[in-house]
Structure 1
Amino acid sequence: MIFTKPIVLAASAVAALAAPLTANDSPIPGYEIVDIQWSLQAFPGGEYINVTGTVEQVVAQLTKINPDYEKNVLAAANMTRLGADAESGLWHYLYHDCLTWPVAWTRRVWEGIMYLDGHDGVPTMGPGPAACARVSCSWDSAIWWCNDDPVELQLDVWTSVAWGAYIIYRDCRNERDDQTSGQIFYEPNWNVIVRGDTC
């Protein structure tokens, strides 16, 4: 069961194979890296604009057009609901591994989770297997979304990806509690990675 929420943003995302890295060059070993293209409205009711990049890059570009864009995104993020969904097991996952990747800063991962949760729309990625897109990255802390199915992957809302990152954020911290990394696996054959990165 997936809850949707009314917000002033309308978004959809598709995967675009723009000069993809091969599996040998990939920061996710064995996976081809693809870009996510977002189709968004800078203003409520405005025309759709195609933007490629992480959610932070998207927000930065559209905030130049509409200074209130970032504020609207953060207002739409419902972390109270997200946490409740995590506790109730609303979106069931198979398992998750902790601290198996280079660590990311928990504060920056949290910010990425909020940005993703604040966007409506239908996340869509082209067929895998072994395809990943970096959907959030700031201060060397990234969230990746990966498709291991040989068919196109489509989720109901971006909150699905945000929720996976939230589980890692919640359960997989180092002893100082300021860094995290991990990977969470879902059916049918997709996963979310939180890890240190270069950005």
Structure 2
Amino acid sequence: MKSAAILALFTLFLTPLALPWEPIYHHFYPLPPGILEGYKTTEFDGIEGYNTTEIEWDLEVDPHTGKTIVARGTVEQIREEALKHNSDWDAHYIEPARQKMKRALEMNSYEELEAHFRSADSELESDSESESHLEKRAIFNLAARDCGGRWKEVNWDTALRNTAYLSGLKGYPKRGAGPGNCGRVSCSYNTAIWWCNDEPFDKTLMGYDRIYYGALEVVSPCSHKPFGGSRKTSGQAFSTGGWNVIVRKDKC
């Protein structure tokens, strides 16, 4: 009886000390290269007031030939289709982003990590040499941002990781005519990224980096750390180009 009481007190003492470290610790030991394997995105309930359908992607599957395929669903779902065309798809498009994320998380500091992802010379910037750093950072062209509110919060580091994987994809995402035409781009660990078209016509973006930068406009600026808990984030960022990105809790 005495030993059980001592163990209970010991556990109670250590628990609050461990809480602030949970999000970073979770990614110090990243999953193997098949990072997206096993993440089966569930059917989504949609978003009230929005028309929600699956995302359609023109996705590059071979960096050597430039071959592209048309796929539907989240990045976790399209991986299965991409692997049918190129068994090394993970190595070419997901592993580089995973390694960048791992190196960033090894900084072991929220402030340094945020600075790394938002700096002009970040490794996760566009690879295009034809654009200046300022042009790369202006890809999203923020018009407005709503933090929290109706969007249920998620773990900040999970949202950042899901966002980072978008930086490795090559191709052109498509959405049907809006307004409020949304599709779920990524979802794992109950953390989702949505892309919505608000224009009254079909829209094709010039790259996944547009959605990546849009998500970054939510993930870091909308983050906060409740007392005694892990850092959280959620929100919606609106582009001047008539589309927006949502980061929120979802079923997956």
SS in 2 for 1:35: coil
Residue 60 of structure 2 contacts residue 169 of structure 2 at CA under 8 Å; is this kept in 1? no
* Cα distance in 1, alignment partners of residues 235 and 136 from structure 2: 18
* Cα distance in 2, alignment partners of residues 132 and 106 from structure 1: 22
Map of 1:17 onto structure 2: none
**CA-atom RMSD in angstroms:** 2.9
What are the residue-to-residue correspondences of 1:27-46 with 2, within 5 Å? 27-43=46-62, 44-45=64-65
Map of 2:221 onto structure 1: 171
Q: What is the aligned residue count?
A: 176
Map of 2:250 onto structure 1: 197
Question: Equivalent pairs: percent with the same residue?
Answer: 34
Question: Rg larger in 1 or in 2?
Answer: 2
159-168 or 113-122, larger mean C-alpha shift: 113-122
Q: Give the letter aligned to residue 29 of structure 1.
A: E
User: Which consecutive residues of structure 1, in runs of 5 or more, have no partner in the other structure?
Assistant: 1-20
Shift, 1:144, TM fit = 0.3
Q: Are residue 118 (structure 1) and residue 138 (structure 2) matched?
A: no
What are the residue-to-residue correspondences of 1:1-199 with 2, within 5 Å? 27-43=46-62, 44-45=64-65, 48-63=68-83, 66-74=86-94, 77=97, 80-82=122-124, 89=138, 91-100=140-149, 101-175=151-225, 176-199=229-252
User: Which consecutive residues of structure 2, in runs of 5 or more, have no partner in the other structure?
Assistant: 1-42, 101-116, 126-132
**TM-score (structure 2 length as normaliser):** 0.60
Shift, 1:47, TM fit = 5.3
Residue 58 of structure 2 contacts residue 173 of structure 2 at CA under 8 Å; is this kept in 1? no
Shift, 1:118, TM fit = 0.9
* Cα distance in 1, alignment partners of residues 173 and 182 from structure 2: 13
**Higher strand fraction (1 or 2):** 1
**TM-score (structure 1 length as normaliser):** 0.75
